[in-house]
C-alpha cells in the first residue's frame, strides 16, 4: 500500500446514486496517522493462501463501483482522489470493524493507491468517508505570477470606493473545523477573510464550488487594497492641508 499523510474527513453532498454495482474490492483499516494498515477479513469465507510463507487470509469483499472525484484542499487548490461507491447499508456494516484510530478504506491489492469510500444514501445524497489519500494527486493552482499584460485586456476601469468597501470586510485568525472538508488542516491557525463578507462587497471575487462552499479569490483582493491605500492617503493629505 502506498503511504501518504493527508487525512480527509467526511463531507455530505448531493448527487446521483447507483442501485446496481458491477465491481468488487477488498477493505482495509488504515491508521489515522498513516503509519499502518491491515486487511479486514471475512470469518465466513475460507482462507486463501498468500505467497510461499504459508500465510493465508479471507479478504472481506464489498460490491460497488470504482471512480474518481475532485475535492477541495485549502484556499489554493483541490485534489483528485479515487473513490469506491457503495451503499450506506454496506458501509455501516463494515465501518465499525476497524479499531479506534483507524478508518475503513477500499483497495484491490497491496499496490493500490490510498482511496476513499463514496457512500450513497437512500435519499439521493452521498458522502465521502474519512481516510487518507495521496498527496501527489493535489491539483494546486500557482498564484506566483499571474498573467496581467495590458495588451490582453479590455474594458479597463479604475476601481471606485475601494476604501469604504474594504472597511466592511474584516481579517480574522481561525482554525478549520475537524468535521469540515478542511478537517485535514484542523488545529492549525490560519489568517484570512470570511467569504460571505467579501461576497457582499466584491461578489466577483467569490465563487461557489461543486460542494456548495464559497471560495475567495485572494489574489483579486490585491488591487482593491492598493486602491484603498491610495484613497486613504488622499484623505490624509486633504486633512493635513486644512491644518
Burial of 47 (0-12, 13-18, 19+ CB in 10 A): exposed
To the question of pTM greater than 0.95 for the whole model, the response is no
Classify residue 210 as left (phi > 0), alpha (psi -120 to 50) or beta: alpha
Task: Mention the CATH class of domain 150-242.
Answer: mainly alpha
Q: In the predicted model, is pLDDT for residue 77 greater than 60?
A: no
Alpha-carbon distance 162 to 229, whole Å? 9
Q: What's 95's DSSP letter?
A: H
Question: CA 210 from chain center: how many Å?
Answer: 11
Q: What's 170's DSSP letter?
A: -
Contact 35, 204 (CB under 8 A): no
The reported pLDDT for the residue numbered 14 is 40
Q: What is the mean pLDDT of residues 41-60?
A: 68
Contact 152, 184 (CB under 8 A): no
Q: By C-alpha distance, which of 105, 91, 135 is closest to 40?
A: 105
Residues forming a β-bridge with 93? none
Burial of 27 (0-12, 13-18, 19+ CB in 10 A): buried
Question: CA 156 from chain center: how many Å?
Answer: 35
Contact 41, 26 (CB under 8 A): no
Q: In the predicted model, is pLDDT for residue 79 greater than 80?
A: no
Per-residue pLDDT reduced to its tens digit, 199-241: 999 999 999 877 788 989 888 899 999 999 999 999 999 999 9
Q: What's 70's DSSP letter?
A: E
What are the cell numbers at 92?
A: 455501516
Q: By C-alpha distance, which of 36, 27, 21, 41 is closest to 108?
A: 27
| DSSP-H helix ranges across 74-194 | 88-95, 162-166
Q: Find the range with the poorest average confidence among 31-45, 72-86, 176-190.
A: 72-86
Spans of all domains in the chain: 6-140, 150-242
Q: Which residues in 105-141 are b (16+ Cβ under 10 Å) and which e?
A: bbbeeeebebbbbbbbeeeeebbbbbbbbbeebbeee
Per-residue pLDDT reduced to its tens digit, 92-129: 999 999 988 899 999 988 778 889 999 999 988 888 89
The reported pLDDT for the residue numbered 3 is 39
Q: In the predicted model, is pLDDT for residue 15 greater than 80?
A: no
Per-residue pLDDT reduced to its tens digit, 122-178: 988 888 898 887 655 444 444 445 668 898 889 999 999 999 999 999 999 998 888
Alpha-carbon distance 162 to 235, whole Å? 13
Amino acid at each position: 500500500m502506498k503511504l501518504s499523510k493527508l487525512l480527509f474527513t467526511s463531507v455530505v453532498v448531493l448527487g446521483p446514486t447507483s442501485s446496481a454495482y458491477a465491481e468488487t474490492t477488498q477493505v482495509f483499516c488504515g491508521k489515522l496517522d498513516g503509519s499502518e494498515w491491515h486487511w479486514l477479513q471475512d470469518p465466513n469465507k475460507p482462507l486463501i493462501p498468500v505467497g510461499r510463507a504459508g500465510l493465508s487470509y479471507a479478504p472481506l469483499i464489498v460490491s460497488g463501483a470504482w471512480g474518481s472525484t475532485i475535492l477541495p484542499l485549502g484556499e489554493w487548490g483541490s485534489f483528485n482522489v479515487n473513490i469506491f461507491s457503495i451503499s450506506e447499508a454496506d458501509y455501516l456494516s463494515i465501518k465499525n470493524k476497524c479499531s479506534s484510530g483507524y478508518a475503513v478504506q477500499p483497495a484491490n491489492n497491496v499496490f493500490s493507491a490510498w482511496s476513499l469510500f463514496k457512500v450513497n444514501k437512500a435519499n439521493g445524497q452521498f458522502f465521502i468517508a474519512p481516510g487518507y489519500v495521496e498527496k501527489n494527486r493535489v491539483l494546486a493552482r500557482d498564484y506566483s505570477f499571474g498573467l496581467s499584460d495590458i495588451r490582453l485586456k479590455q474594458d479597463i476601469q479604475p476601481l471606485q470606493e475601494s476604501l469604504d468597501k474594504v472597511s466592511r470586510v474584516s481579517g480574522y485568525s481561525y482554525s478549520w473545523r475537524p468535521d469540515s472538508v478542511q478537517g485535514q488542516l484542523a488545529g492549525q491557525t490560519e489568517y484570512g477573510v470570511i467569504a460571505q463578507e467579501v461576497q457582499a462587497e466584491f461578489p466577483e471575487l467569490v465563487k461557489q464550488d461543486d460542494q456548495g462552499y464559497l471560495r475567495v479569490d485572494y489574489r483579486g483582493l490585491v488591487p482593491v487594497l492598493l486602491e484603498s491605500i491610495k484613497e486613504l492617503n488622499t484623505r490624509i493629505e486633504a486633512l493635513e492641508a486644512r491644518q
